[in-house]
Structure 1
Amino acid sequence: MSQLTIIANIFVKAEHLEAVKPEILKLIEPTRSEAGCINYDLHQNNENPAHFVFYENWQSRELWRNHIDSPHIASYRAAVEGKIDNVTISEMSQIA
């Protein structure tokens, strides 16, 4: 498989937005320095500030899986436990 694109939608419980947003932002720097990370871009919905989207590109699925198993992702998960409504992760391949 060639490059892998990830679209991750994170829906934060509104009452926890101020606590979760800094935790999400902490992911940027260490992830961008990981092997295989091409880009790791965070977006926040203009109409629903509790909705975040990561647009990511990785050199391979294996390198993305290493990211998922990284210590900073584990720390993030512990910090936001119970504060997230829903997360959807889509693994995508560019076709055109």
Structure 2
Amino acid sequence: MAEIAVVAISVAKPGHEELLREALEGIVGPTRKEAGVLQYDLHRDVQEPRRFVFVERWESQDALAAHAQSAHIQAYKKAAADWIEHAEIRVVSKIA
């Protein structure tokens, strides 16, 4: 399968920025150890500090699917659900 990329954006509810930041930082290490991960970088929007952006690259759609089902991602989703105002995940493929 072809390599894929992901842009995942999470916007914290007002007052929950640091809780969300800590939770997101907590999934970076375990994810970087997963099979099939090529890049997994967390960023914070300079102009809108409630917005966090993951830039990811995966060997395949299957590797991404396994990531979504991993224990640390499931635990993160449960813990952070009340802190997120908006989330968006875009899976893309490189064309140039």
Mapping for residues 10-89 of structure 1, pairs under 5 Å: 10-89=10-89
CA distance in 2, matches of 1:93, 1:18: 31
CA distance in 1, matches of 2:81, 2:37: 25
Task: Give secondary structure in 1 for the equivalent of 2:38.
Answer: strand
> Once superposed, what is the RMSD of the aligned Cα atoms?
0.8
CA distance in 2, matches of 1:28, 1:81: 18
TM-score w.r.t. length of structure 1: 0.96
Size of the aligned set, in residue pairs, is 96
CA distance in 2, matches of 1:23, 1:82: 12
CA deviation after TM superposition for structure 1 residue 40, in Å: 0.2
CA deviation after TM superposition for structure 1 residue 50, in Å: 0.6
TM-score w.r.t. length of structure 2: 0.96
% identity of equivalent residues: 34
Runs of 4+ in 1 over 6 A off after TM superposition: none
Gaps of 5+ in 2: none
CA deviation after TM superposition for structure 1 residue 38, in Å: 0.2
CA deviation after TM superposition for structure 1 residue 81, in Å: 1.6
